């Protein structure tokens, strides 16, 4: 008999290209709204890609003191904002919890790129002694959860997980272990990224990974469609409050869903391309199901990695069919990246959050712009319009993420059925 503690999701926090809160972001998902538009962060003259899924009207001072915000890179500002919402949503207030038994783990794929670019420019233009003194404390990837811990007084484990686009998923999977063994009462976990910068966009363009459908921004992210031409870069954060069931019940907390399981693997195949047969994805999916104690037939919805790239989408579809067999054609699969773009290190956190809400509300999110499905992608991808299922229609959902380097991370969330 398992001695692992049961874990539930009691709080959510998000800033996405669909809105600067969980409520606004989820309303965007249910409405099938696209968060993609022309890049406003910098002048795109000369750039092959001129579109991205940016946060809209994000003002750090709405979430924190302006002086503190100036000490942070954009990715830290976004992380703190989402974490504050998550903690408040879970019903925690200062002094209402033991800070020694609370922590934060965030996935960060790249980190403070904006700070790196600005400081490097200052050095080239004005000399090495004119680099801003806060450069290092702003750019290092661990400073995202570090800032969250400082602002929310979380004194337990605090660290960053960096596994490219699987970072947010792996942060959640890693964080849960602290709860399962009884070391903590709750932990904030998810992902954050904010690297829509000149250098980053140019670098992804050089490897021809991004969409150049500049004349139709809202139609550019089109997972599983045969006319897809690359991913659309996004930014944002998705953070969950994960809590032991006994602690949640003791304080009469609301519960969105129960954590099910986690799978992790590496393709050990290529720097950027997935294994052509999806062997790493298959392994991670099977591991997540086993960890959750579920059979393939118990999954009703998969939030796919679904990047809208020519290589990823058919490989992921093949991996799903490999594991789920005939049931692959009965469950629903969709990619919320069709709405948010690909938020890189934040993707696993944001998509885990959407998966939790799918389970909680029995709503199957849509895949926008799926006009002409790729013949190799022949599953039910909830094309264009989301589906509201009857109560109990999503018993369990899976969230898939795959990253450069062959990283694969899978999460499973289940409908909470009581103690």
Catalytic residue numbers, as ranges = 165, 305, 342
Q: How many Cβ atoms from other residues are within 10 Å of residue 201's Cβ?
A: 23
Structure token digits, residue 135 = 């450069």
Upper half-sphere CA count for residue 114 (Cβ side, 13 Å): 17
Strand bridging mode 236-244 / 186-193: antiparallel
CA distances from 15 to 100, 212, 239, 346 (A): 27, 25, 9, 10
Residues 6+ apart with CB under 8 A from 168: 106, 107, 190, 191, 192, 238, 345, 346, 347, 348, 349, 350, 351, 352, 401
Residues 6+ apart with CB under 8 A from 112: 73, 74, 75, 76, 138, 139, 140, 141, 143
Q: How many Cβ atoms from other residues are within 10 Å of residue 69's Cβ?
A: 18
Q: At 51, phi and psi to the nearest 5?
A: -130, 155
Taken in order 14, 18, 23, 28, is the CA torsion positive or negative?
negative
Q: Go through 272-302 and write b for each residue having 16 or more CB atoms within 10 A of its CB, e for each that does not.
A: eebbeebbbbbbbbbbbbebbebebebbbbb
Judge whether 195 and 110 are in contact, CB under 8 Å: yes
Judge whether 101 and 209 are in contact, CB under 8 Å: no
Q: How far apart are CA 376 and CA 366, in angstroms?
A: 19
């Amino acid at each position: 008999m398992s001695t692992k503690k049961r874990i539930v999701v009691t709080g959510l926090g998000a800033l996405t290209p669909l809105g600067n809160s969980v409520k606004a972001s989820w309303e965007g998902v249910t409405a099938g709204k696209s968060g993609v538009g022309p890049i406003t962060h910098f002048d795109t003259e000369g750039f092959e890609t001129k579109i991205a899924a940016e946060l809209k009207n994000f003002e750090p001072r709405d979430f924190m003191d302006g002086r503190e915000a100036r000490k942070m890179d954009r990715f830290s500002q976004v992380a703190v904002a989402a974490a504050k919402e998550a903690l408040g949503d879970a019903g925690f207030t200062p002094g209402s919890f033991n800070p020694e038994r609370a922590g934060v783990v965030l996935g960060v794929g790249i980190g403070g790129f904006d700070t790196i670019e600005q400081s490097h420019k200052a050095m080239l233009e004005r000399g090495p002694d004119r680099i801003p003194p806060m450069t290092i404390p702003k750019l290092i990837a661990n400073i995202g959860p570090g800032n969250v811990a400082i602002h929310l007084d979380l004194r337990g484990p605090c660290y960053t997980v960096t596994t490219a686009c699987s970072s947010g998923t792996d942060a959640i999977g890693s964080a849960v272990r602290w709860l399962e063994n009884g070391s903590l009462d709750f932990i904030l976990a998810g992902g954050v990224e904010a690297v829509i910068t000149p250098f980053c966009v140019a670098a992804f363009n050089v490897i021809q990974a991004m969409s150049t459908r500049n004349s139709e921004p809202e139609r550019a992210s089109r997972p599983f469609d045969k006319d897809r031409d690359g991913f659309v870069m996004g930014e944002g954060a998705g953070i969950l409050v994960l809590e032991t069931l006994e602690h949640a019940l003791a304080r009469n907390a609301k519960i969105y869903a129960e954590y099910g399981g986690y799978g992790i693997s590496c393709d050990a195949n290529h720097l950027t391309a997935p294994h052509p047969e999806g062997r790493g994805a298959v392994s991670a999916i099977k591991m997540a199901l086993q960890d959750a104690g579920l059979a393939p037939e118990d999954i009703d919805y998969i939030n796919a990695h679904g990047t809208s790239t020519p290589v990823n989408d058919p490989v992921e579809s093949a991996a799903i069919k490999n594991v789920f067999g005939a049931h692959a054609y009965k469950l629903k699969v969709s990619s919320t990246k069709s709405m948010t773009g690909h938020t890189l290190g934040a993707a696993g956190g944001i998509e885990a959050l959407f998966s939790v809400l799918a389970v909680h509300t029995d709503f199957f999110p849509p895949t926008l712009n799926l006009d002409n499905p790729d013949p190799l992608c022949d599953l039910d991808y909830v094309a264009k319009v989301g589906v509201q299922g009857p109560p109990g229609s999503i018993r369990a959902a899976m969230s898939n993420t795959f990253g450069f380097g062959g990283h694969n991370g899978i999460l499973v969330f289940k409908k909470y059925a009581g103690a």
